[in-house]
Amino acid sequence: MSEPKISSAAREKRVFKPSAEFQRQANLGSLATYKKLHAESVNSPENFWGRQANEHLIWRKPFSTVLNWKTPHAEWFKGGKLNVAENCVDRHLGTVRENKAAIIFEGEPGDVRTITYKQLSMHVCRLAHVFENMGVKAGDRVAIYLPMVPEAIVAMLACARIGAVHTVIFGGFSAEAIKDRLNDCQAKLVITADGGWRRGKVVELKSVVDRALESTPSVETVIVLKRTANEINMVEGRDIWWHDAWKGGPNQHKAKAFDSEHPLFILYTSGSTGKPKGVLHTSAGYLLGAKLSAHYVFDLKENDRYFCSADIGWITGHSYVVYGLLANGSTVFLYEGAPNQPEPDRFWQMIDRHAITILYTAPTAIRSFMRWGDNYVLRHRLDSLRLLGSVGEPISPEAWRWYHHMIGKDRCPIVDTWWQTETGSILIATLPGAAPLKPGAAGLPFFGVAAKIVDEQGKEVPRGTDGKMVITKPWPSMLRTLWNDDARYQSAYFGDFPGVYFTGDGAKQDKDGYFWISGRVDDVLNISGHRIGTAEVEAALASHPSVAESAAVGRPDSLKGQALVVFVSLKTGVATSDALKEDLRSHIGREIGSFAKPDSVRIAAGLPKTRSGKIMRRILKEIAAGREVKGDTSTLEDFSVIAALQKED
Ligand code: WT7
């Protein structure tokens, strides 16, 4: 049982070959097949993707061209028409899947519901009628701010069914953040709940929406799901209960077909300016990417019960709770609450109780489980599991080993999956039956993915050398643009290396072609799997009356991956105090959401700047990490500020 302790990626040299047993049953069971298909997918993408699109999607009208690529704009499957909701739900009706569970839901208080594909279709159809009766039309934007309950999935699919564009807003975002998103996309309808359950308490969602809606003129209607039964305020003429809206409505709905490139959803994510980016995904290409990757990466089988712990408010929830899984006819397990409620063994208990076969979670969660202690895991059998997944940040070899041994009992392969909100679906992952797993490596490129490591000039570097990761060819599930800001789309993703997509990540490729990701090279932080732009935090602080200037940086954190540290200089006459620091933290919580509250606020008379007035972030990162300030400081204007900041904590 005792494994040698592994303390760094450099020392973990073992590779884990797929077992013969796993390989025999795998959807893709040999390296040679993977290599052949991958070569075809990048060398003749039109053949490869044309074939996959015909095999995997249900078309109302066949497409005429596979790809139009006018850098940096892609159009996939032009001429084709389909309905995304039909591809996720209706296609399973009249088949053996009709009465199969589409969703098994467990609320935090312990309430369990199973929804079959047939029932899901009835719910989606009903809500689609409700939307249409409210005047929601194809192309209109609908915001969804719900807890992790089945209705969130129903709402997304009902939007897709009528061609409305959903924007799901994570339940941790503040009123201010919601307001900005609603105004940016001019949402007409908001779907929320009275509240959701988290750590035994009600998270009041409706009251947050009420505050956001004080200045969102585009919003006409709010549909409110009753979940927690806490007291809320219903605004006459604007708000309607979900159960009243759909009472007595028909549960069949004739779906229209939409163009392949019809917008499916906008998902806001952080970038390197203060304003979040509205990543736009469209219909056919996105769905194909999500479906095909889920099939191969998770090696999906008819009897799987799949549990992804990501919230529906993030891209992982979109692609690998909803679209990719339902399009494959899988059974998705959905959990509303916290992993340590009532005790830190909630996941393991649910895995046993529901006979979950696949678990997809994040390294930050794995580190929490490790910290909570093995005893919570050892209470449970976990013998239904057959495959584990990881996403969100590099998984350290220690966490990999623990996950493999304690959760997977040395039996389940772990697929690490690298991708982004913008990529729509997994782009790098080792297919579990095809190639050996290397702990700490994201893996090999998925079909259609032409990834490369380049230097500052965009020139490919030799294997084993660190550089920046780019994708040199378009792929079906790539973002199409940024909502209302195509110029930013072009500069953010295609500006650094003209003509190729820059991921923002540093990485290297080893001799076997595996990608090892080191993390973001831009000003985007990854805190417990949440993507937060430092500029967004700084913009929030700038609106506080006491703040003159600020800089937000990340510091390594053994639990969260990165922790947020903000450096602040105050306006003349404002005195520093603990109360002020706390107020600054709350202010960020109000402007963005409580998950963005910094771990540490450091106040000083000035920030380190170059003589031309640019804040020297490199120095702040070193101070935040408690390291000695090294490297070139010759352009620093005033050395005394460093000493002052080092003292302050
Ligand atoms: C960034 C994207 C895609 C779902 C979750 C986050 C980092 C993501 C991995 C991985 C190393 C990873 C990257 C990427 N990242 N997965 N398996 N190994 N790093 O989506 O918020 O769009 O963030 O997360 O830095 O750029 P996101």
Residue-wise pLDDT for 472-517, tens only, equals 999 999 999 999 999 999 999 999 999 999 999 999 999 999 999 9
Q: Find the helix packing angle between 45-56 and 31-43, rounded to 10°.
A: 110
Ligand 1 proximity of 311 Cβ (cutoff 6 Å): no
Mean pLDDT, range 424-433, rounded to an integer: 97
- Ligand 1 site-directed mutation target among 270, 414, 418, 468, most atoms within 8 Å of CB: 418
Ligand 1 proximity of 269 Cβ (cutoff 6 Å): yes
CA distances for 347 relative to 251, 379, 388, 415, 601, angstroms? 34, 12, 13, 19, 34
Ligand 1 proximity of 526 Cβ (cutoff 6 Å): yes
Ligand 1 proximity of 392 Cβ (cutoff 6 Å): yes
Predicted local confidence at residue 11, as pLDDT? 57
Beta carbons of 364 and 394 less than 8 angstroms apart:
no
Predicted local confidence at residue 7, as pLDDT? 40
The CA 442 to ligand 1 mean position distance, Å, reads 10
Phi first, then psi, for residue 364 (nearest 5°) are: -65, -35
The CA 223 to ligand 1 mean position distance, Å, reads 32
Predicted local confidence at residue 386, as pLDDT? 98
Length of the chain counted residue by residue: 649
Residue closest to 427 by CA, chosen among 498, 505, 497, 528: 505
Ligand 1 proximity of 309 Cβ (cutoff 6 Å): no
Mean pLDDT, range 265-276, rounded to an integer: 92
629 pLDDT higher than 90: no
The CA 339 to ligand 1 mean position distance, Å, reads 21
| Pairing label, strands 530-533, 524-527 | antiparallel
Residue type, 285: G
CA distances for 635 relative to 549, 608, 628, 631, 639, angstroms? 20, 10, 17, 11, 10
Q: How far apart are the first and last CA of the chain?
A: 42
- Ligand 1 site-directed mutation target among 266, 501, 517, 520, most atoms within 8 Å of CB: 517
- Kindly state the percentage of the chain with pLDDT values over 70: 98
CA distances for 166 relative to 206, 500, 506, 514, angstroms? 18, 28, 32, 35
Ligand 1 proximity of 561 Cβ (cutoff 6 Å): no
Ligand 1 proximity of 532 Cβ (cutoff 6 Å): no
Mean pLDDT, range 191-203, rounded to an integer: 98
Residue type, 394: P
Q: Which domains does the chain have, with CATH numbers?
A: 20-83+261-517 (3.40.50.12780), 87-256 (3.40.50.980), 544-647 (3.30.300.30)
Ligand 1 proximity of 442 Cβ (cutoff 6 Å): yes
What torsion do the CA atoms of 113, 119, 120, 125 make, to the nearest 10 degrees?
Answer: -140
Ligand 1 proximity of 316 Cβ (cutoff 6 Å): yes
Q: Distance between CA atoms of 573 and 518, rounded to whole angstroms? A: 43
Residue nearest to atom 8 of ligand 1 (CA): 392
Residue closest to 309 by CA, chosen among 300, 320, 299: 320
pLDDT in tens, 437-470: 999 999 999 999 999 999 999 999 999 999 999 9
Closest ligand 1 atom to Cα of 270: 21
Mean pLDDT, range 241-248, rounded to an integer: 94
Q: Distance between CA atoms of 389 and 299, rounded to whole angstroms? A: 11
Greatest Cα pair distance in the chain: 74
Mean pLDDT, range 1-7, rounded to an integer: 38
5 pLDDT higher than 80: no
* 115-124, 326-335, 352-361, 571-580: segment of lowest average pLDDT: 571-580
How crowded is residue 110: how many other Cβ atoms within 10 Å of its Cβ? 10
Ligand 1 proximity of 419 Cβ (cutoff 6 Å): yes
Name the band, by pLDDT with cuts 50, 70 and 90, for residue 3. Answer: very low
Mean pLDDT, range 311-334, rounded to an integer: 98
Ligand 1 proximity of 396 Cβ (cutoff 6 Å): no
pLDDT in tens, 362-415: 999 999 999 999 999 999 999 999 999 999 999 999 999 999 999 999 999 999
Ligand 1 proximity of 148 Cβ (cutoff 6 Å): no
Beta strand extents in 474-574 (DSSP E only) = 481-482, 501-509, 515-520, 524-527, 530-533, 547-557, 561-570
Name the band, by pLDDT with cuts 50, 70 and 90, for residue 649. Answer: low
Predicted local confidence at residue 613, as pLDDT? 81
Predicted local confidence at residue 355, as pLDDT? 98
What one-character DSSP code corresponds to residue 393?
A: S
